[in-house]
A and B are shown apart, each in its own frame.
Chain A
Amino acid sequence: MRAHLFLTCPVLLFLGCSYLLPFLGIMQLSFTDPDPGLAQYSHVLSDPLTQGVIWRTLRICTIVTVVSVAAAYVITLLWVRGRPMVRSITELCIMIPFWISVLSRAFGWLSMLSNRGLLNTWLKDMGLIETSLQMTRNEFAVIVGMSHYLIPFAVFPLATAMRNVDERVLIAADGMGASRLRIFWQAFLPMTASGIIGATLLVFVFSIGFFVTPALLGGGQSVLIAELIYLWIFQIPQWGMAAAMSVILMIAVGGILVLLMRRYGEMAK
């Protein structure tokens, strides 16, 4: 027992130095900069502009989570249960974007969606539209870019859940005369619920702290929490506000995690 404690010391030391100390610094900053007290928190929570950012973040992250998990479910279904050819192709489509940096992917979507981008050009060439559609520097672009980035993260918990489904249960349902639709809705989907919850959790928590994609594809028109914190640190230095916002973000993510885990625990019973 003593030896175990001794051996874990380096890890504890590392975590303490790299996470706990900076976090305590941030905590301290949030209560002291510029003046001691709760002014930073009350400002963050009452300022209409900041409130707007918080609501937008929650809204976009919810949409992104629903879109990513739904898309990932279909993709995972093809990957786990498709024919061998479909499986290989799907696997490539999951893995290749996964290995490409978040920055390249954001620029990729820019060149795809911008006013003179590929999509607008095609639509014009086909005579479907007269003037370019505004598809960047707005929430649409942010949602597309973030969902695309997060889909692979949703795929893995879903794949685990789908691989754990007992094939015989589905065969039994079929033998009892259930239609394919009924087998999916009443057997397969509920049997993969743990994967859906895991994927939702992972994607939502990831999306809340997203910075690069919303900053590039939102073009300053659709600022999310992480970008606001960046602004308060580097553009209009208000470190106390940035610290307070960070603490709120952390508590929010922690709270959501606890809530979902509890729900998950009930589902598993």
Chain B
Amino acid sequence: MSSNPQIEARKVGKKYGKFNALRDVSLGIGEGEFLSLLGPSGSGKTTFLTLIGGYDAPSAGQLLLDGQDMTNWPAKQRGFGMVFQGYALFPHLTVAENIAFPLKVQKRSEAQIADRVAQMVEMVGLSGHEAKKPVALSGGQQQRVALARALAYEPKVLLLDEPFSALDKNLRGQMQEELRRLHRELGTTFVFVTHDQEEALALSSRIAIFNHGELQQLGTPEEVYERPANRFTAEFLGDINILTLESGGIAGTPIQLSGNAAGLGHLAVRPEHMRLAVAGDANALPVRLRDRVYLGAKSRLLLETQAGEELMLYLDNGPGIADPHPGAELCVAWDARHGFVV
């Protein structure tokens, strides 16, 4: 993030009646950034996007655009592009007319509009579909029209509200690739709302994680995944093993911790950071194998500590690899730096 953010939220809050949809959110969005707002439904991520876009006004706090107070500007004054959930295309207009709409509003010349529309159609790969109405298009194609329409007038910022939620998994992957490409080519700031953590990890330069209307953590995908700020973030992003800590150990086995963890209750370790070990290794925790799920290239081992807590890890399948059976007494170990206290 540059030192002067393009968009800045200062203690922004939003209440609907007595319901606090958003509380005290402060963050900066740098120019050209790809920021994902990630969280479960009802976490306030879409509310925050709506406030940035100017489609609703915050109940508290301040929003700045390039240092200027834009808190009370309506959406049209901010001039951001927006891709709505469900696309919000004009059903009575063709693909080309949909894309031309914002350009006509700006009263550009006919020739300019025709050029720009052709360019956008090309960019999102819809050549040959210009004269079709939205009903005649597939979900993915409608999505492209919505993208082209939102980007047609070269907005400084593009806001996307769960744009891929209605697409099937293959198409999602394809559209994610295209979105990355568009972001790379255009250098526009993208703010992207999603509840899909993999999507957020794959696309974003930074991720803002929301829960219960509060910002939980803001950081690069690596930061939020590998150093979650709290238990919610740790559990929300990917798989994680959570073990109860008691006076420097787990279930009677002493454990090395990174940093000072005095008085804190749980240790979290990602399954990919755990490995099978032998008793006597550093940080080795005795466990019993409950079940082994064969997944082809690897197996998922479901384990249980002596205190009865469940954990899991992945084991590569291949020649010369130990093949433990359910009921076997094993040990797991991990580097102290991969365990974080939550």
Please report A residues at the B interface, Cβ cutoff 8 Å. Answer: 166, 168-169, 171-178, 182, 186-187, 190-191, 193, 269
- B62-76 CB contacts (< 8 Å) to partner A: 74-76
Please report B residues at the A interface, Cβ cutoff 8 Å. Answer: 53-55, 74-76, 79-80, 82, 84-86, 88-92, 101-102, 105-106, 133, 149, 153
Q: Which residues of A contact B55 (CB under 8 A)?
A: 171, 175
Q: Which residues of A contact B53 (CB under 8 A)?
A: 175
The reply to whether B89 and A173 form a contact with Cβ atoms under 8 Å apart is no
The reply to whether B90 and A168 form a contact with Cβ atoms under 8 Å apart is no
CB distance from A3 to the nearest CB of B (A): 37
How far does the alpha carbon of A172 sit from the alpha carbon of B84 in the complex, in Å?
A: 8
**A and B contact pairs by CB, cutoff 8 A, 21 listed:** A166-B86, A166-B91, A168-B86, A168-B88, A169-B88, A171-B75, A171-B84, A171-B88, A172-B88, A175-B54, A175-B55, A175-B76, A175-B80, A175-B82, A177-B105, A177-B106, A178-B76, A178-B101, A178-B105, A182-B105, A191-B92
Q: Which residues of A contact B91 (CB under 8 A)?
A: 166, 169, 191
Q: Which residues of B contact A182 (CB under 8 A)?
A: 105
The reply to whether A174 and B76 form a contact with Cβ atoms under 8 Å apart is yes
The reply to whether A169 and B89 form a contact with Cβ atoms under 8 Å apart is yes
Known: A176-B153, A191-B90. 18 other contacts (CB 8 A): A166-B86, A169-B88, A169-B91, A171-B84, A172-B88, A175-B53, A175-B54, A175-B55, A175-B76, A176-B101, A176-B105, A177-B106, A178-B105, A182-B105, A186-B101, A191-B92, A193-B92, A269-B133
Say yes or no: A176-B76 contact (C-beta < 8 A), given A182-B105, A190-B92, A191-B91: yes
The reply to whether B90 and A177 form a contact with Cβ atoms under 8 Å apart is no
Say yes or no: A177-B92 contact (C-beta < 8 A), given A168-B86, A172-B84, A269-B133: no
CB distance from B129 to the nearest CB of A (A): 15
The reply to whether A173 and B101 form a contact with Cβ atoms under 8 Å apart is yes
Looking across the interface, which residue of chain B has its beta carbon closest to that of A194? Answer: B92
How far does the alpha carbon of A228 sit from the alpha carbon of B82 in the complex, in Å?
A: 61
CB distance from B262 to the nearest CB of A (A): 51
Looking across the interface, which residue of chain B has its beta carbon closest to that of A182? Answer: B105
How far does the alpha carbon of A191 sit from the alpha carbon of B88 in the complex, in Å?
A: 12
Q: Which residues of B contact A177 (CB under 8 A)?
A: 76, 79, 102, 105-106
* Residue among A172, A187, A269 facing the most chain B CB atoms (10 A cut-off): A172
How far does the alpha carbon of A178 sit from the alpha carbon of B80 in the complex, in Å?
A: 14
Say yes or no: A175-B92 contact (C-beta < 8 A), given A166-B86, A269-B133: no
Q: Which residues of B contact A191 (CB under 8 A)?
A: 90-92
The reply to whether B101 and A174 form a contact with Cβ atoms under 8 Å apart is no
How far does the alpha carbon of A193 sit from the alpha carbon of B93 in the complex, in Å?
A: 13
Q: Which residues of B contact A269 (CB under 8 A)?
A: 133
CB distance from B63 to the nearest CB of A (A): 16
How far does the alpha carbon of A174 sit from the alpha carbon of B54 in the complex, in Å?
A: 11
- The 6 closest A-B CB pairs, nearest first, are A168-B88, A176-B102, A175-B75, A177-B76, A172-B88, A190-B92
Q: Which residues of B contact A176 (CB under 8 A)?
A: 76, 101-102, 105, 149, 153
How far does the alpha carbon of A105 sit from the alpha carbon of B153 in the complex, in Å?
A: 55
Q: Which residues of B contact A175 (CB under 8 A)?
A: 53-55, 75-76, 80, 82
The reply to whether A174 and B75 form a contact with Cβ atoms under 8 Å apart is yes
Q: Which residues of B contact A168 (CB under 8 A)?
A: 84-86, 88
Q: Which residues of A contact B92 (CB under 8 A)?
A: 190-191, 193
How far does the alpha carbon of A186 sit from the alpha carbon of B109 in the complex, in Å?
A: 18
How far does the alpha carbon of A97 sit from the alpha carbon of B244 in the complex, in Å?
A: 73
* Residue among B74, B76, B79 facing the most chain A CB atoms (10 A cut-off): B76
Looking across the interface, which residue of chain B has its beta carbon closest to that of A183? Answer: B105
CB distance from B139 to the nearest CB of A (A): 15
CB distance from B95 to the nearest CB of A (A): 15
CB distance from B263 to the nearest CB of A (A): 49
How far does the alpha carbon of A193 sit from the alpha carbon of B86 in the complex, in Å?
A: 22
Q: Which residues of A contact B133 (CB under 8 A)?
A: 269
How far does the alpha carbon of A174 sit from the alpha carbon of B149 in the complex, in Å?
A: 14
CB distance from B106 to the nearest CB of A (A): 7
How far does the alpha carbon of A169 sit from the alpha carbon of B91 in the complex, in Å?
A: 9
Looking across the interface, which residue of chain B has its beta carbon closest to that of A178? Answer: B105
How far does the alpha carbon of A168 sit from the alpha carbon of B92 in the complex, in Å?
A: 15
Q: Which residues of B contact A174 (CB under 8 A)?
A: 74-76
How far does the alpha carbon of A105 sit from the alpha carbon of B53 in the complex, in Å?
A: 52
How far does the alpha carbon of A173 sit from the alpha carbon of B53 in the complex, in Å?
A: 13
